[in-house]
Each structure stands twice: as structure tokens, then as C-alpha cells.
Structure 1
Amino acid sequence: MKKGDSEPVVARNRRAAHDYQLGESWEAGIVLQGPEVKALRAGRASLAGGFAMVENRELWLHAVHIPQYSQARWFVEGSRRKRKLLLHRAQIDKIERKVNEGGLTIVPVSLYFKDGRAKVEIALARGRKTWDKRQVLAERDAQREVERAINRRRKGRTD
């Protein structure tokens, strides 16, 4: 594989778009230990329930599950341990300001490799209420129905 090629997404947090209204997003490096990289390359990770927090002016990723790599000689303690995210200081300060001001949370959206390095896309998110989720689903269904009707009309059907 060439240096410029990127591998497919290892894990995607589909619930984040449903449970939260996603805002601004950033790409961050993630600090991993030995066998965790192999487990990720095998496509084994889960972002469900994961979140990030700013602690002591550093960004940490919590509750992301990277299971033990079965063929490793040594094991990393804790598959859900907190992991440090790598961003520029100005970006971390901006994220911290927005979280403190507006009641936002930081959620991981996807985990992937880029140029051989593990990256995680994080986004600022505002929680949705149950009725909000239903409204979004209803709007999406209505939009799909409109698109279907347009396609049927183009093809000359009058179903």
C-alpha cells in the first residue's frame, strides 16, 4: 500500500447522528499501545457509548471498546481504557470553550487509518430529545417518499 492511500473506516458511530445533533468536527490522532493497532487493523472496535473530555488541557477519549488482539504476546490492560487524543493546543482550547459555554458534548463519529496512523473523527454534539428524534425520522421518510414519487414520474409510471 502506498503512503498516500488510506484504509477503510474501522468503526463508525451510527447512533451519534441519531442521538445527537452533530456540529463542528475535527480529525484527531489517537495514542494506542502495541496490540491495539493490530486489533484495529483487524476491524475490531466499537465507538458506541464513547465520548471525549478535556482534562488538564488535554483531550481524552473514554468508553471506546478496542478488544484484545488474540495473537499478541502481551496484553494491554482494559479494552475500554481512556486514550489520549492528539490535537493542536488552539483546537483543544476552542473545543473546551464551546463545551463549557453551550452544554455540548464531544462524541467520536468514526475511527479509521490515514497514512498508516490511527485517526478518530470527533464532533461537538447537542443531545436530542425523544420527540426530536421522531421528528427527524419523519422528515427523512417524507423526503424519501418525495424522491420516489419524482423518480416514478420521470419513468412515466403513475402508481
Structure 2
Amino acid sequence: MGKGESRVLAQNRKASHEYFIEETVEAGLVLQGTEIKSIRRGKVNIQDAFARVENGEAFVYNMHISQYEQGNRYNHDPLRTRKLLMHQKEINKLGPAADKAGYALIPLKIYIKNGFAKVLVGLGRGKKMYDKRESLKKQTAQREMQRAFRDHQKM
């Protein structure tokens, strides 16, 4: 892997099913101790994670980073609240938008970029049940078209 490339370590697949993602922002993470070692091994889970803006700073909650096996007493708390590193302009833009009813800040991906752990945070608007059904119908129709096209090409 080259210097500018990134490697996705965790993805929140459920987010696209639960939310309409309207805007995304790349943010750094403030980590301590052995957390980066666990992240590099892919021992991170963001399924239930969410972000919040408090006092002009962004934080991510419920992001589970497993303890590092060789970490002994210097290990970290797996569910600790972690600060997100974002420009103040981005925080000022996303904070009020996320406070509106039906909106949330959701971590979508965690990846390593230029040696640093990054989080792709999305501003999502919650889907209603009928929206979810509509999305599933579109995906199924798209899959069927792809399959039919592929089968037709083999002939």
C-alpha cells in the first residue's frame, strides 16, 4: 500500500439502511495507549456508535475498540468516549444540523490514512419504515437487473 492510500477497517453497513446520509466529513480520532494497535488489527466495532457535538467539540460514543492482547495494565476502556478532531467550521456546521429532530451524526467508516486513524462521520436523517421498504425494493430490482444482464451476456 502506498503513502496516500487508505485501508477500511470497520464499516457501519446498517447506517445506510437506517438513515439518508446527507453529508459526510472526515475526522481524526484522539486515541490513547494501545487503541491504535487494536484498530490496526481491525478490532473495532461501530455498529451502535453515534457522535455528538458538546461545548464546541465533537465526541463519538459507543465505539467499541477491543483491548490489545499484549497490552497488560496499560490497556484502555473498550467503550470510552473519544474526541473527534474536526475543523471548527465543520463542527459549527454539523452541530446545529444534528440537533434538528430526526437527524443524527453517525460514524460510517474507520480507516487508516497516512498512518492515522480516521473516521468518516455522516449527517443522517432517519428513515421511516416505508422508506426502508422502498430502499429494499430498489436494491432487489437492481440486483435482478444485474443478474439478468449477466445471464444474457453468457449466452
Preserved CA contact (<8 Å) 1:13 1:48: yes
For structure 2, the residue ranges without an aligned partner over 5 or more in a row are: none
Q: Secondary structure at the match of 1:49?
A: coil
Preserved CA contact (<8 Å) 1:107 1:125: yes
Displacement over 4 Å in runs of 4+ = none
Q: How far off its partner does 1:102 sit? A: 5.5
Q: Secondary structure at the match of 1:8?
A: strand
Q: Secondary structure at the match of 1:85?
A: strand
Q: How far off its partner does 1:103 sit? A: 3.5
Q: Secondary structure at the match of 1:134?
A: helix
Structure 1 match to 2:56? 57
Indicate the larger mover: 101-110 or 145-154.
145-154
CA distance in 2, matches of 1:139, 1:119: 31
Map 1:47-126; keep pairs closer than 5 Å: 47-73=46-72, 74-76=74-76, 78-101=77-100, 103-126=102-125
User: How many residues are treated as equivalent by the alignment?
Assistant: 154
Preserved CA contact (<8 Å) 1:6 1:116: no
Structure 2 match to 1:146? 145
Q: Name the structure with the higher strand share.
A: 2
CA distance in 2, matches of 1:153, 1:102: 47
TM-score for both structures, normalised by structure 1: 0.89
Preserved CA contact (<8 Å) 1:23 1:123: yes
Q: How far off its partner does 1:5 sit? A: 4.2
| Residues 104-146 of structure 1: per-residue CA shift (max 9 Å, x gap) | 1000000011010010000000111223212211111112212
CA distance in 1, matches of 2:153, 2:22: 36
Indicate the larger mover: 42-51 or 143-152.
143-152
| Residues 39-78 of structure 1: per-residue CA shift (max 9 Å, x gap) | 11111000011000000010000000001101013122x2
TM-score for both structures, normalised by structure 2: 0.91
Larger Rg: 1
CA distance in 1, matches of 2:39, 2:117: 8
CA distance in 2, matches of 1:126, 1:59: 18
Q: Secondary structure at the match of 2:67?
A: coil
Structure 1 match to 2:34? 35
Aligned-CA RMSD value: 1.7
Q: How far off its partner does 1:7 sit? A: 4.7
Percentage of pairs with the same residue: 40
